[in-house]
Amino acid sequence: MKIIGIFALITISALAICLAFGCSQSQQGKTFGSPITETALTPIGTILANPEQFSGKTVKIEGKIMNECPAGGWFHLNDATGTIYVNLHPSEVAIPQVMGHKVIAQGRVRKEETQVEVIGEGVQIK
């Protein structure tokens, strides 16, 4: 009976600590990879409509993560104008699991055959 009481006390203490200090840190406002330096926001639909115009150029995009690599190495970003693939692997950047959150991403646009993507260099979670 004493073991159950001790176990209950430890469990309650752990829960109290989690409630007081938070079990996980908020990722809001954190930047992963390079800082976001671009000032102009480019709509995703504009990039998709004119990929040759943006190819090799650094852009800043903002939207909601629709799906994400389990290791945080890529994601699909959606704004009101479209959805684009953001590949973080070439920059050796990874983000935590934040699917459904809004983010700002900065990177170079790359078009290979029919695939248009952004090679992400920095991501800020909003």
Interatomic CA distance for residues 52 and 72, integer angstroms:
28
Domain that holds residue 49: 27-125
Give the CATH number for residue 95: 2.40.50.200
The values of phi and psi at residue 84, to 5°, are -135, 150
Tell me the per-residue pLDDT of 64-122, one tens digit each, with 9 for 90 and over.
Answer: 999 999 999 999 999 999 999 999 999 999 999 999 999 999 999 999 999 999 999 99
Assess if residue 92 is contained within a domain.
yes
Assess if residue 13 is contained within a domain.
no
Cβ density class 68-84: b for 16+ within 10 Å, e for less: beeebbbbbbebebbeb
Assess if residue 65 is contained within a domain.
yes
Tell me the per-residue pLDDT of 16-65, one tens digit each, with 9 for 90 and over.
Answer: 444 333 334 578 889 999 999 999 999 999 999 999 999 999 999 999 99
This prediction's pTM? 0.80
Q: What are the residues whose beta carbons fall under 8 Å from the beta carbon of 56, sequence distance 6 or more? A: 108, 109, 110
Assess if residue 76 is contained within a domain.
yes
User: How many domains, the chain?
Assistant: 1
